[in-house]
Structure formats: structure tokens, C-alpha cells
Structure 1
Amino acid sequence: MAGSIQAPGAPAAVGHYPHARRVGNLLMLSGIGPRDPKTNAIVGHVHDADGNLVSYDIDAQTRAVFANVRAVLEASGARWEDLVDVTVYLTDMAADFKRYNAVWAEYFPDAASAPCRTTLGISALPTPIAIELKCTAAIHE
């Protein structure tokens, strides 16, 4: 069975692609960021009076990304525990890795059962976010 999935509880994609695609028992999620599904605002951003970004909260962005991943998983018939591989993109590895890693440990307290993970420091993402996740899950029926 193969098919694309649009998750109503996740923010809209920023391009022409589905939230996820299922192929057999594998579920491949498109890159997911920390936008609020209802308002499309980037969670954790602080702006000045002119609307310029002055700071962001990596903890809040990480939690928002995890919530959005969970929404896509659930819309696809999968669970958080079904994640098997996660690629994480951070726009400021030096400033954000330690905090992001601490939040990760809250959501995956047992390293032995956590998904495999690769974290990359990159210069930019398509929108002004600090973190994006690319995930793969195995659906067990």
C-alpha cells in the first residue's frame, strides 16, 4: 500500500508536497518545522516593534516540532513510538544543540528505544526557523 498523507492537525506544507508518504509498513515524513498549525506562526519567535526577529526559543521550537511530527504520525496511523530514524537540522548547532538534546531526552528517556538520530548544522532552512525534522516510522499492524 502506498499513498500520500495530509495531516489536518499539522501546519500546512510550505511547498508542493505531502506531510508523509506510506510505502508498505514504512512512513516517510516530509521535513517538519515548528509552525503553529492554527496560526502558521513560528513558535518561540520574539519580534521587535517593527516585526524584526530579535530572538527565538529553541526549547519551544523543539517541542512544537515534536507536536507537529506527532500530529502527522497519528494522521497516518502511526504512533510516536513507531519512529525509527530522525534527521534533525539546526541552523545554529553551537547555540542550540545542548538545549535541543535536553528536550530530546525528555521525549525519549530510554536511549535504547529511541529512534536512530542524525543532527546536522546547516546555514538556513526554507523559512526562518531554527529546527526541522525529517522522520521515518515503521507502522506495525
Structure 2
Amino acid sequence: MAAYVIVRVDVTDPDQYAKYMKLSPGAVSAAGGRFLVRGGATARRSIEIESFQHQNPIPAATRIGPLVVSSITPPTNPGSREVPDTLEEQIENLFTHVGQMLEGAGATWDDMAKMTFYVTDPAASRPALNGPWLERFPDPESRPSRHNMKVEGGGPVQISCTFVAYVEN
């Protein structure tokens, strides 16, 4: 089972921390682990895309080190604030937006770890998602996690999403 540990430290004793830095690779390796990023702060980078922008000062997604995390993604038509009528069109728009975020972060669909869909009708959304899902993730041995979370409706939006991706390059 894989696990990722993200640690942020405030070094109060540089000499002691230097000793720790020399010894810790052996302990991690002995347990079968490896460092993916080590040795200081990793810059956070905002990901903006052409197909939509938030009205508030938040990016479509953020990349920090190997992690790519999206903000809430609306099902609007690319380049507008219009929401299409059908669930299928809304889903296709979500996948368009997410694809652009992945590309902007230097990632691909293969880097996707989890997608969460916020849906007004879980029974309708599951089968409607399956087609586009299988197009992007055809290998049953290598699919990301997916979760549908019911939310209250009231407007034209039937579905929105967030995601987490992990990029090793």
C-alpha cells in the first residue's frame, strides 16, 4: 500500500536538523520508502485556464510540488458562464475544464488520483459519468478514485467537481 507523507517543518536548531537530514534517508529506505521532494520549500503555482475563470481571486487549480488540486469546477460552457441544459453536456464541460487544468499543471489524465463530483441526482449522474470516465480511464487496473456527493440543487447546475492529481515529473 502506498502512502504519501507531506511534512512542513520550522527548523529551530539548524545543527540538530542537519544531523537528522543525514540520518533520515537510511530510515526511510529501510522501510521501503523514498523521498519524492526534499530539501526546502516547494513553490506553489496557480493554474488558470481558458475555458473558465472564477469570479473570486482563486485559481482553477494549484500545483505545489507533485500535487495538483483543483478548486470547485463548474459545468459552464467553455469561455462563458452559461450552463447547458443537459447533464451530459455539463459532464463534458467538466472534463474539458479538468483536462485544461491538468495540461496547465504539466499533468495528464494518467496522473489523476481522485475526482469528487457534487451532484443533485446521484442515480442519474453515475451512469452519465461512466462513458466519459471510461474514455479517459479505460484500464480497470489503473483508475483513479471517484466519489459522487449529493448536494442540494435549485438552479441549472446538476454537477460540478474537484480533483487531486499527483505528478511525478
Normalising by the smaller structure, the TM-score range is: 0.7 to 0.9
CA distance in structure 2 between the partners assigned to 1:134 and 1:115 by the alignment = 13
Structure 1 outlier segments of 4+, above 3 Å: none
Match of 1:8 in 2: 49
1:36 maps to which of 61, 73, 77: 77
State the shift of 1:38 in Å.
Answer: 1.8
2:61 maps to which of 17, 20, 23: 20
The normalised TM-score by structure 1 is 0.79
CA distance in structure 2 between the partners assigned to 1:40 and 1:4 by the alignment = 25
Secondary structure of the 1:106 match is helix
Residues 1:102 and 2:131 aligned together: yes
Secondary structure of the 1:59 match is helix
Aligned partners of 1:10 and 1:72 also within 8 Å: no
Give the unaligned 5+ runs of structure 2. 1-41
State the shift of 1:100 in Å.
Answer: 2.2
Aligned partners of 1:26 and 1:139 also within 8 Å: yes
State the shift of 1:13 in Å.
Answer: 1.2
Residues 1:77 and 2:106 aligned together: yes
CA distance in structure 2 between the partners assigned to 1:84 and 1:27 by the alignment = 10
Q: How does 1:61-76 map to 2 (within 5 A)?
A: 61-76=90-105
State the shift of 1:109 in Å.
Answer: 1.9
Matched AA of 2:116: T
State the shift of 1:63 in Å.
Answer: 1.1
- Report the count of equivalent residues: 128
Relative to its length, the structure with more strand (as a share) is 1
Matched AA of 1:131: I
Relative to its length, the structure with more helix (as a share) is 2
Match of 2:119 in 1: 90
State the shift of 1:69 in Å.
Answer: 0.3
CA distance in structure 2 between the partners assigned to 1:14 and 1:113 by the alignment = 35
State the shift of 1:108 in Å.
Answer: 1.8
Q: Output one character per residue of 1:86-123: Cα deviation in whole Å (capped at 9) or x when no partner.
A: 11111112333222233322332223211111111111
RMSD across aligned C-alpha pairs, in angstroms?
A: 2.0
Give the unaligned 5+ runs of structure 1. 46-56
Percent identity of paired positions between Structure 1 and Structure 2? 28
Residues 1:133 and 2:161 aligned together: yes
Secondary structure of the 1:74 match is helix
Secondary structure of the 1:123 match is coil
Q: Output one character per residue of 1:35-86: Cα deviation in whole Å (capped at 9) or x when no partner.
A: 12322322x32xxxxxxxxxxx111111110010000111111112111111
Match of 2:3 in 1: none
